[in-house]
Amino acid sequence: MPDSGSLPIDHIQTVPETMRAWVLGGPDEMTLVEKPVPTPGKAEVLIRIDAVAICATDLEIIHYGTPAIVDGGPPFHKNFTIGHEYMGTVAALGPGVDEYKVGERVTVEVHAGCGRCKRCRQGMYTSCHNYGLREKGHRANGMTTDGGFAEYAVNHINTLVRVPDTMTDEEATLVVTAGTSMYGLTELGGLVAGESVVVSGPGPIGLLAVSVARSLGAGPVILTGTREDRLAIGRKLGATHTINVREQETVEAVTAIVGAKGADYVIECAGTEAAINDAIRMTNRGGKVCLAGFPHDLAKVDLPHVVKNNIYLYGIRGEGKSATHRAMSFMAEGRFDASLIHTHTFALEDLQEALRYARERVEDALKVVVKPRGVASLKAKAAE
């Protein structure tokens, strides 16, 4: 039986009736409330949340609402709990569930999908055609159904990934991020051994894309970005070269490494018009570009160059096709140290401060994690 780390197994068999959970009011309005602990249905388990990471998408949802959709509309004033990058301990099983045991440590994928649409049937559950429609059975915790900034959450067993005893809670929250990077590489065809890969934008997805590409045998793996501290983390995570785009002309610097014809694969995580055009121009004929950044505005893109050079563009969303399991396999084997991108941990009640760290990159925050127990609150620390 895996050890839960922080609490003995018998403790979690006692599930309380209510729990602390953050809910979204209007835009930029988060409140800590008491909510009933949800009950797992068929094919579901109740998870006692042990750690949850903050994602840029959470900051988007809190401010804009999208990409969260609850019951067909914006997620505001619906007693809705966000947070999707969490891990924890199985605390109760729904009827008929024997795939997991109470006490097992698990991390989660975000999207269960609906299981009935064309895309879900293809394993593309992050592109579910019934996104946000609970009556169609769609679930994506923290996006369309209640998520992880709480003490408990209910998950479909298809979204669970077992966590090895050797992995910390904090690192386990990063599996879904690595899974997103893995999904991008899967959609590009996955055959990257010996191929050149450029990753632009050293946020969490870009940094872990470097690690995953390297683990899949790609080389060289080049990371581009503006912040030297993040490029340095990229080198530790497997980048063979890094390029500071403030100091060098990006496309020239890339071709100086991979040759004048350009790179085989580019994973674009910056999401800006300039970065997208650079990505296209540094890709060789017949090469592939994965668009993993979330652009806000319409972009003027050099499509003539794309068409003339037979370049393939792939838009990806989330972590489909069980990519999270493949990412976990690499992480469990210690192929790369994802914990390098975890920078801060706060108590659950200090979520507002944790969000500020993530939003304003206080103390170079990269991945900020909150934990419902085992971490002293800022109030308690101040009283010391």
Residues forming the site for Zn ion (CB under 5 A) = 55, 57, 113-114, 117, 120, 128, 130
Report the sign of the C-alpha dihedral through residues 272, 274, 280, 283, in that order: negative
Give the residue with the Cβ less far from Zn ion, 57 or 242. Answer: 57
Give the residue with the Cβ less far from Zn ion, 49 or 55. Answer: 55
DSSP 38: P
Give the residue with the Cβ less far from Zn ion, 291 or 311. Answer: 291
Give the residue with the Cβ less far from Zn ion, 209 or 253. Answer: 209
Distance of closest approach, residue 261 Cβ to Zn ion, in angstroms: 35
Distance of closest approach, residue 24 Cβ to Zn ion, in angstroms: 16
Helix, strand, or coil here: 172? helix
Distance of closest approach, residue 28 Cβ to Zn ion, in angstroms: 19
Give the residue with the Cβ less far from Zn ion, 53 or 263. Answer: 53
Distance of closest approach, residue 135 Cβ to Zn ion, in angstroms: 13
Q: Any idea of the CA torsion for 298, 57, 65, 348, to the nearest 10 degrees? A: -160
Distance of closest approach, residue 176 Cβ to Zn ion, in angstroms: 6
Q: Which two tokens stand for residue 126?
A: 């992050």
Q: Which two tokens stand for residue 229?
A: 């501290």
Distance CA 22, CA 147 (A): 9
Residue nearest to Zn ion (CB): 55
Angle, helix 56-64 to helix 351-360, in steps of 10 degrees = 110
Give the residue with the Cβ less far from Zn ion, 130 or 250. Answer: 130
Distance of closest approach, residue 60 Cβ to Zn ion, in angstroms: 10
Distance CA 31, CA 352 (A): 9
Q: Any idea which residue has 């690192």 for tokens?
A: 171
Cis peptide before 372 (omega within 30 of 0): no
